[in-house]
């Protein structure tokens, strides 16, 4: 028996990285999984390789290998109508219930705030903050209608607690996710729906391989030294490390936990 037997989980950004890991781990614990990813180019400002259709297909294969029951679809968290279509169809297919939401999809890029063009700022906020709001807006009516309570996990960052140089837009978005999470926890408590944010530090995914990160920090040695002071003392996590927390928050083991900022940062916010 799994911790999530009989439950249905919705995960965004499942093509690879943390989202893929979360989807697989939730399925392994018995949840039926609904997953989406844009599986294509997102931003000209990102220096790392975008997820592709082949990545989403690989997630499909890994879920099949687990014996999971799942639906994967291509959809963008900037497109409410697309998410509505996917969820309405999949929730109906899975008996009308939705118990767990993991708002994971996001991007990362670099610049000093007064030097970035307007569209770099706006794009970051639209995906990393408004995309989380759209995800919750799409999912919550299904959770309320099902009447089973549930758990929502929003993926913030160390940058949602401790602002990062050369990432003011990212920090603003991730701080915003905390505010949204707290408000959602207050509003959804009467329905038995818990809402918590998680706060990873560096996680070994394609995102941390961005050459533009090195360029930005090399161009501004003071920022590089700031990050180095943390990186020298804090190890990089694996996606599965973060999935451990996601599974726990999704399960009834965390039934008394809501409105929290769950740091999974190897102590980075304390350095």
DSSP code string of 208-264: GG-HHHHHHHHHSHHHHHHHHHHHTTSPPBPHHHHHHHHHHHHSGGGTT--S-EEEE
The pair of three-digit structure tokens given for residue 254, joined into one six-digit string: 């965390």
Per-residue pLDDT band at 180 (split at 50, 70, 90): very high
* Residue 191 falls in the annotated catalytic set: no
Per-residue pLDDT band at 232 (split at 50, 70, 90): low
**What is the Cα–Cα distance from 48 to 212, expressed in whole angstroms?**
8
- At residue 77, does pLDDT exceed 90? yes
**What is the Cα–Cα distance from 127 to 199, expressed in whole angstroms?**
17
Q: Report phi then psi at 87, rounded to 5.
A: -70, -40
Q: Which of the following is catalytic: 170, 191, 223, 227?
A: 170
Domains in the chain: ranges and CATH: 8-264 (3.40.50.720)
Q: Model confidence over 109-156: pLDDT tens digits?
A: 999 999 999 999 999 999 999 999 999 999 999 999 999 999 999 999
Backbone CA torsion sign across 152, 100, 143, 125: positive
pTM, whole model, 2 decimals?
0.96
3-state secondary structure 137-153: HHHHHHHHHHCCCEEEE
């Amino acid at each position: 028996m799994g911790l999530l037997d009989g439950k249905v989980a919705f995960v965004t950004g499942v093509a690879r990285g943390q989202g893929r890991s979360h989807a697989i781990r939730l399925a392994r614990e018995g949840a039926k999984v609904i997953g989406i990813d844009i599986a294509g180019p997102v931003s000209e400002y990102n220096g790392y390789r975008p997820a592709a259709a082949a990545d989403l297909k690989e997630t499909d294969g890994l879920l099949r290998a687990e014996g999971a029951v799942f639906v994967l679809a291509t959809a963008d968290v900037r497109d409410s109508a697309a998410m509505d279509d996917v969820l309405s169809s999949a929730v109906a297919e899975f008996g009308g219930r939705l118990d767990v939401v993991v708002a994971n999809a996001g991007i990362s890029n670099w610049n000093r705030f007064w030097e970035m063009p307007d569209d770099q700022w706006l794009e970051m906020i639209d995906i990393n903050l408004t995309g989380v709001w759209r995800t919750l807006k799409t999912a919550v009516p299904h959770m309320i209608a099902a009447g089973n309570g549930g758990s929502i996990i929003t993926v913030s960052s160390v940058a949602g607690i401790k602002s990062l140089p050369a990432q003011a837009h990212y920090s603003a978005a991730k701080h915003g996710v905390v505010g949204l999470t707290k408000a959602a926890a207050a509003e959804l408590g009467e329905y038995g729906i818990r809402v918590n944010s998680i706060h990873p530090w560096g996680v070994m995914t394609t995102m941390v391989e961005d050459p533009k990160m090195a360029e930005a920090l090399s161009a501004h040695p003071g920022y590089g030294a700031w990050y180095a002071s943390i990186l020298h003392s804090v190890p990089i996590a694996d996606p599965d490390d973060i999935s451990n927390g996601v599974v726990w928050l999704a399960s009834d083991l965390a039934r008394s936990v809501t409105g929290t900022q769950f740091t999974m940062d190897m102590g980075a916010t304390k350095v």
